[in-house]
Amino acid sequence: MTEPSRLRSRPTMDDVAAMAGVSRGTVSRVLNGGHNVSRQALAAVERAISKTGYVVNQHARSLVTQRSGSVAFILSEPQDKLFEDPNFNNLLRGCTQVLAEHDITLLLTMAATAQDRQRIGRWVTAGHVDGALLVSNHLGSPLIAELRERGLPFVVCGRPLGQERDVTYVASDDRDGARQMTGYLRSTGRRRIAIITGPLDTPGGVDRLAGYREIVGAGDPDLVATGDYTQASGEAAMTRLLSQAPDLDAVFVCSDLMAAGAITALQRAGRRVPEDVAVGGFDDNRIATTTTPLLTTIRQPWARQSAEMVRLLLAHIDGAEHAAVILPTELVVRDSA
């Protein structure tokens, strides 16, 4: 039997203190900013730290500070979608970066099943994280209630349908974005404007549909199809629309990824984009500039979104009240409409 490596016990503050010829207290002060420590004590401690290879024991520290120095990024979405959708990418990158500036680590966890959710609920409450960023919550997601009950600070990305009261969230103005796009399509002379929505139990699903309806009115049900934000679903939905309403001359697709799929379907059906059918997307992520033609879309401010989420979370951890932030969206005109 070899000695398990984790038992080869790491140096503690006392070891460092002894080597530096100072007390534990002084070492602690050095570790926490070095205030009120003399020049030579500081130097001695730093030398001892690098000689011993000392690293603070986070569990001991957290036990007393009641802070872990990490926050969770909780995704409640089947993994496939996560990995296909560039928006998550943008959001994750943004949050990681902003948090790193505060020296806080972001931990990504996935809650695909009810069992996962339970494990994560216990996990976050056990003190592993100081707060959580909740992404991709469908209507009635039990995670919100669970976290609230457990008293963990959290911020939701997107409007938490039916649970807006007393939760902090950051959303982009989906409804207005949809209005802008639909209005733009109409302003270019299109009259049979279809829509491919996201899942109707997500804010991006219902709010963008609502914005669209504000412009076109109740409209023709044959002009409405629903996807699940994946490229394949966009393609399928477009095919469906084409058979339901062959005379459509524009389509507002509620995500760029689905729009890419829709363009594929249109072209396969022999329709020219934008001559025969104008296509508008939503998101303005990487994929919008790789389609042929380039996608006219609504820009979501991902960087601001991440920054706001982190800001609100940190504020919330420090005891701030609940807040909701709605970020403006912007029409980006390219070639597809």
Partner DNA sequence: CTCCAAACTGTGAGCGCTCCCAACTTCGTA
Partner DNA sequence: TACGAAGTTGGGAGCGCTCACAGTTTGGAG
Q: Does residue number 150 form part of the binding site for its own copies (CB under 8 A)?
A: yes
Q: Does residue number 3 form part of the binding site for its own copies (CB under 8 A)?
A: yes
Query: Which of 43, 47, 50, 65 is close enough to bind DNA by CB under 7 A?
Result: 65
Q: Does residue number 230 form part of the binding site for its own copies (CB under 8 A)?
A: no
Rounded least distance, CB 266 to its own copies, Å: 17
Query: Which of 57, 188, 267, 289 is close enough to bind its own copies by CB under 8 A?
Result: 57
Return the amino acid letter for 324.
Answer: A
Q: Does residue number 128 form part of the binding site for DNA (CB under 7 A)?
A: no
Contact segment (CB under 7 A) with DNA among 28-36, 137-145, 201-209, 280-288 equals 28-36
Q: Position of tokens 């991902």?
A: 302
Query: Which of 18, 23, 139, 230 is close enough to bind DNA by CB under 7 A?
Result: 23
Nearest to 201 by CA among 162, 256, 238: 162
For 14, list phi and psi in degrees, rounded to 5.
-65, -40
Q: Does residue number 100 form part of the binding site for DNA (CB under 7 A)?
A: no
Sketch the per residue contact string, 30 through 49, with DNA: x for CB under 7 A, - otherwise.
Answer: -xx---xxxxxx--------
Q: Does residue number 119 form part of the binding site for its own copies (CB under 8 A)?
A: yes
Q: Does residue number 24 form part of the binding site for DNA (CB under 7 A)?
A: yes
Choose the one of its own copies, DNA, none that binds residue 41, judging by a C-beta under 5 to 8 angstroms depending on kind: DNA
Q: Does residue number 116 form part of the binding site for its own copies (CB under 8 A)?
A: yes
Give the interface size with DNA as a residue count (CB under 7 A).
30
Residue 124 forms beta bridges with which residues? none
Choose the one of its own copies, DNA, none that binds residue 96, judging by a C-beta under 5 to 8 angstroms depending on kind: its own copies
Distance CA(151)–CA(215), nearest Å, equals: 41
Name which of 39 and 165 has its Cβ closer to DNA: 39
Name which of 99 and 170 has its Cβ closer to its own copies: 99
Rounded least distance, CB 230 to its own copies, Å: 11
Query: Which of 38, 51, 83, 162 is close enough to bind its own copies by CB under 8 A?
Result: 83
**Region 163-192 residues binding its own copies, contact defined as CB under 8 A:** none
Q: Kindly calculate the radius of gyration of the chain based on its CA atoms and give it in whole angstroms.
A: 26
Sketch the per residue contact string, 90 through 109, with its own copies: x for CB under 8 A, - otherwise.
Answer: --xx--x---x--x-xxxxx
Query: Which of 44, 88, 136, 170 is close enough to bind its own copies by CB under 8 A?
Result: 88
Task: List residues near DNA by CB under 7 A.
Answer: 9-10, 12-14, 21-29, 31-32, 36-41, 54, 56-57, 60-61, 63-65
